[in-house]
A and B are shown apart, each in its own frame.
Chain A
Amino acid sequence: MATLEINSLRKRFGTIEVLKGIDITLEKGGFLVLVGPSGCGKSTLLNTIAGLETISSGEIRIGDQVVNDLHPSKRDIAMVFQSYALYPNMSVAENIGFGMEMRGVSKPDREKAVATVAKTLQIEHLLSRRPSQLSGGQRQRVAMGRALVRRPSIFLFDEPLSNLDAKLRVDMRVEIKRLHQTTGTTIVYVTHDQIEAMTLATKIAVLKNGELQQVGSPGEIYNRPSNMFVADFMGSPAMNLLEGTVSRTNGSAEIVLARNEAPPVVLPVPPSADIGRLKQGDKVIFGIRPEAVNDEESIDRNARSVVRFDANVEIIEPAGSDTYVVIQVAGKEVTARMRADADLRIGKPHTFALNLDKAVLFDPTTTSRI
Chain B
Amino acid sequence: MSAADLVTSGGRRGSSHSLTTRIVIYGLLLLFAAVYLVPLAVMVLTSLKRLDEVTGGNMFALPRHPTLDAWSRAWGEARIGVSDTRGIHGYFFNSVKMVVPAVLISTLLGALNGYVLTKWTFPGHKLIFGMMLFACFIPFQSVIIPMAVILGMLGRIGMDLSDLTGWSFGLGNATVNLVIVHVIYGLGFTTLFFRNYYATFPTELIRAAMIDGASFFQIFRRILLPNSTPIFIVTVIYQFTNIWNDFLFGSTFAAGDSAPMTVALNNLVNTSTGVVEYNVNMAAAIIAAAPTLIVYVVAGRYFVRGLMAGAIKG
Interface residues of A (CB under 8 A from B): 50, 52, 71-73, 77-79, 81-83, 85, 87-89, 98-99, 102-103, 146
A103 adjacent to B213 (CB under 8 Å): yes
Chain B 209-221, CB-CB to A under 8 Å as 1, else 0, gives 1111110001000
**B residues in contact with A77, CB < 8 Å:** 211
Known: A88-B227, A89-B227, A102-B218. A73 touches B213 (CB 8 A): yes
Q: Closest CB of chain B to A225's CB: distance in Å?
A: 33
Q: Does B223 contact A (CB under 8 A)?
A: yes
A85 adjacent to B202 (CB under 8 Å): yes
**A residues in contact with B208, CB < 8 Å:** 79, 81, 85, 87, 146
Q: Closest CB of chain A to B217's CB: distance in Å?
A: 12
B211 adjacent to A73 (CB under 8 Å): yes
State in angstroms the CA–CA spacing of A146 and B55 once bound together.
74
**Can you list 11 pairs linking A and B with CB atoms under 8 Å apart?**
A72-B211, A73-B212, A77-B211, A82-B204, A85-B205, A87-B205, A87-B208, A98-B209, A102-B213, A146-B208, A146-B212
**A residues in contact with B207, CB < 8 Å:** 50, 52, 72, 79, 81, 85
Q: Does B274 contact A (CB under 8 A)?
A: no
**A residues in contact with B210, CB < 8 Å:** 52, 71-73
Chain B, residue nearest A79 (CB): B211
State in angstroms the CA–CA spacing of A89 and B204 once bound together.
15
A87 adjacent to B218 (CB under 8 Å): no
Q: Does B226 contact A (CB under 8 A)?
A: yes
State in angstroms the CA–CA spacing of A73 and B206 once bound together.
12
Interface residues of B (CB under 8 A from A): 202, 204-205, 207-214, 218, 222-223, 226-227
State in angstroms the CA–CA spacing of A121 and B222 once bound together.
26
Known: A73-B210, A73-B213, A79-B208. A89 touches B226 (CB 8 A): yes
Q: Which residue of A78, A83, A89 contacts B211 across the interface (Cβ within 8 Å)?
A: A78
New contact pairs (6) apart from A73-B213, A73-B214, CB-CB < 8 Å? A72-B211, A77-B211, A81-B208, A83-B204, A85-B202, A87-B209
**A residues in contact with B212, CB < 8 Å:** 73, 98-99, 102, 146
**B residues in contact with A88, CB < 8 Å:** 227
Q: Closest CB of chain A to B120's CB: distance in Å?
A: 12
State in angstroms the CA–CA spacing of A83 and B222 once bound together.
19
**B residues in contact with A146, CB < 8 Å:** 208, 212
Q: Closest CB of chain B to A161's CB: distance in Å?
A: 16
Q: Closest CB of chain B to A298's CB: distance in Å?
A: 47
Q: Closest CB of chain A to B229's CB: distance in Å?
A: 9
B223 adjacent to A87 (CB under 8 Å): yes
**B residues in contact with A87, CB < 8 Å:** 205, 208-209, 222-223
State in angstroms the CA–CA spacing of A88 and B212 once bound together.
15
**A residues in contact with B223, CB < 8 Å:** 87, 89
Chain A, residue nearest B206 (CB): A85
**B residues in contact with A52, CB < 8 Å:** 207, 210-211
**B residues in contact with A83, CB < 8 Å:** 202, 204
Known: A83-B204, A85-B202, A87-B205. A99 touches B227 (CB 8 A): no
Closest 4 CB pairs of A and B: A73-B213, A99-B212, A89-B226, A85-B204
Q: Closest CB of chain A to B307's CB: distance in Å?
A: 21
Chain A, residue nearest B228 (CB): A89
Chain A, residue nearest B229 (CB): A89
Chain B, residue nearest A81 (CB): B204
Q: Closest CB of chain B to A154's CB: distance in Å?
A: 12
**B residues in contact with A82, CB < 8 Å:** 204
State in angstroms the CA–CA spacing of A253 and B207 once bound together.
57
Chain A, residue nearest B214 (CB): A102
State in angstroms the CA–CA spacing of A102 and B215 once bound together.
9
**A residues in contact with B209, CB < 8 Å:** 87, 98
B204 adjacent to A99 (CB under 8 Å): no
State in angstroms the CA–CA spacing of A82 and B211 once bound together.
15
State in angstroms the CA–CA spacing of A352 and B214 once bound together.
62
**A residues in contact with B222, CB < 8 Å:** 87, 98
**B residues in contact with A72, CB < 8 Å:** 207, 210-211
**B residues in contact with A81, CB < 8 Å:** 204, 207-208
State in angstroms the CA–CA spacing of A103 and B218 once bound together.
12
Q: Closest CB of chain A to B226's CB: distance in Å?
A: 4
Q: Closest CB of chain A to B221's CB: distance in Å?
A: 11
State in angstroms the CA–CA spacing of A98 and B223 once bound together.
11
